[in-house]
Chain A
């Protein structure tokens, strides 16, 4: 019985000590270092326009549907998509009728919007929802197919648009290894609007 009491005291004390050190001192130290050295990143890589208003984060996607904008991937986060306070994927499985219906509609809409042939193959990322619902990127192939539409809507040459695409491509890979490069849709559209 005495052992049990002594051990319980040890359990209580170690919980308290760990809470102070590992849940107080440790995160606060990372906070202090982060704010001192990488303040922009530690605060969520927010994008602020010329007037000082927060317009989004370079890590988080936003909805775009106008023809003068590049369109992001479909999003299952929140009621209208890209809810950065409620991330989520569709979680629809491979034999889901609902998912297949969604993809069929999106393929048709994508072909129509970008003036593609009725049998054109569509980049998979353009018609599938991401895991987070906040994917900031689209694939290079997807951006390439949208470029003529955006150029036409803005009276720009396709080369001008392509220049902006490559300027706003995030390639976090090491020589192509570890992951894939992606075109950052929010940054690209803000560059097109002259907001950056």
Chain B
């Protein structure tokens, strides 16, 4: 990594730190049903009208069961809505290319993928999705799933901070306020900025350009034209980044010059991935009246983030010795799958950001990273995407580790563990562990199944340990609701086998809802507890000791669960690569 790279990195971390407090303060207002924002004069009437149309009483508070029911209902309804549009694409408007409807398995996979904030893409956007499908079916979920994630995080924080007996807030109010006061206004500004950088926003049929130099093919025929896919891209890219959805308009996502045309658009997109997740840690500190705790959680995340970027950046700029032996300039690093305008470092940085958060947009092909460079994004997903993490999902995932950390600290000093004055009981630890074990079981279970099956290995693009990594990455990404891929893996094969699409869809559902439900149960349990005043034996949840303990917990759980699998994939591939072995 050069000095310029270090400077870019410092600039990025510094700006994320700067955003955290002001956006966090804004979140406090957004997530308070009676909060005041500068948008009230315009948005408040619309908000109230929405409640009237929905028939909900916005002053009513929900307990955890009702909150969960509402969350599951809106996820189910919107998922069916998305599925229906994808299946009816051929008769719906804004389809200038006349694209056919999606098949059942692919439509199921895609609808689930976007509902769970995963945005894994088993399809090639520009040759599968009409403008209407992109703009309505997929964009709806980009907003909805992001708002749901933030709402769950808010409910958990309230459970920790409040002593209300049962109430965790009103799910509908949270959902609507997040969409109207946070996501939509930021997206409007962001999308206009993206258009100014060159991201298209139109409804033109695909343009046909006459090539400057026609291509002569081996069979004597020649190609005279280039078909250029268009579409309403900017409005979708804005929310896909801000909402950490990550589903690209085009197949190659943020590597495509239309989705990410300039180094500046790339930088702002990276900032937008972390913005809300980072601000939520400030929200945590504010609502629990312990700002030091919020910053300690933030610091724990950032320690792991910085370490991951350094490892990934170093591996990618060192490059592939096999290729360098063939005559490549050593200083150029590993450029396979990367774009010239971003270069090595901005590609490595993006890869770590998108997998630390559960975004999953990519500006370079992770499949073509070096073995260690590709290990980092995979491991970041397997840590549970708690390093800033997906909007909301990152915070509630990290709070599970916080509960675990205070539990372990309590065991070490021989006292009943307590978190911010609330005693952590057996039920709470069970719920926390359940959400962690579900993750691990789904990733390793499905990977084992696929790697021992013919349908699993048939979808691979690479052989040897890298092929195994493709499967491990796929189920990690699906379960973690990330959506990035070692994209050589073909989940929608030409022979019509649906098992990848089905198992990946199941992994996404497990990773989303079997995680959220125990977390809301945990919130419901915590909100019933009374806060006891701190005693000399209370373990402080701010300061360096806590940061070290928390980072230790995250790494320990991640390493114990996944090191054996990683050893069979990227780790062994690294050593084989050094020995010059190829597959």
Contact = CB atoms under 8 A, between A and B. Distances in A.
A185 B138 CA distance: 34
Interface in B175-214: 175-176, 179, 184, 187-188, 191-192, 195-204, 206-213
Interface of B: 4, 7-8, 11, 46, 50, 53-56, 66, 69-70, 73-74, 76-78, 81, 124, 126-127, 135-136, 139-140, 143-144, 172, 175-176, 179, 184, 187-188, 191-192, 195-204, 206-213, 215, 217, 223, 226-230, 232, 234-236, 250-252, 255-258, 261-264, 266-267, 319-320, 322-323, 326-330, 332-343, 346-347, 362-365, 367-371, 374, 461-466, 469, 486-488, 573, 576-577, 581-583
A110 to B, nearest CB: 9
Nearest to B127: A86
A132 B230 CA distance: 15
A139 interface: yes
A26 B46 CA distance: 14
A61 B573 CA distance: 33
Nearest to B180: A21
A42 to B, nearest CB: 5
A59 B264 contact: no
Contacts of B53: 13, 16-17
Q: Give the interface residue-count category, chain A.
A: 35 or more
Contacts of A62: 209, 211-213, 226
B464 A7 contact: no
A95 interface: yes
Contacts of A45: 198, 261
Interface stretch (A148-156, A159-167, A173-181): A173-181
Contacts of A146: none
Contacts, number: 402
A177 B7 contact: yes
A53 B210 contact: yes
Contacts of A41: 195-200
Contacts of B143: 18, 22
A178 B267 contact: yes
Interface of A: 3-4, 6-19, 21-24, 26-27, 29-31, 33-35, 37-38, 41-47, 53-57, 59-60, 62-66, 69, 73, 77, 80-97, 99-100, 103-104, 107, 111, 119-125, 127-139, 141, 170, 172-174, 176-180, 182, 186, 189-190, 193, 195
A54 B207 contact: yes
A136 B367 CA distance: 21
Given A15-B78, A41-B197, A57-B209, A134 B256 contact: yes
B337 A130 contact: yes
Contacts of B201: 27, 30-31, 34-35, 42
B228 A100 contact: no
Contacts of B124: 86-88
13 contacts: A8-B73, A10-B74, A18-B78, A27-B236, A30-B195, A31-B203, A41-B196, A85-B229, A95-B582, A103-B326, A130-B255, A130-B337, A179-B262
Contacts of A7: 66, 69-70, 73
Given A7-B69, A62-B226, A95 B371 contact: yes
Nearest to A48: B209
Nearest to A182: B340
Nearest to A9: B55
Contacts of B46: 21
Contact of B256 (A81, A87, A170): A87
A190 B252 CA distance: 26
A43 B212 CA distance: 20
Contacts of A47: 209
Contacts of B330: 121
A173 B188 CA distance: 24
Contacts of B263: 172-174, 178-180
Contact of B255 (A23, A94, A131): A131
Given A88-B251, A130-B255, A172-B263, A46 B332 contact: no
B175 A80 contact: no
B226 A91 contact: no
Nearest to A116: B327
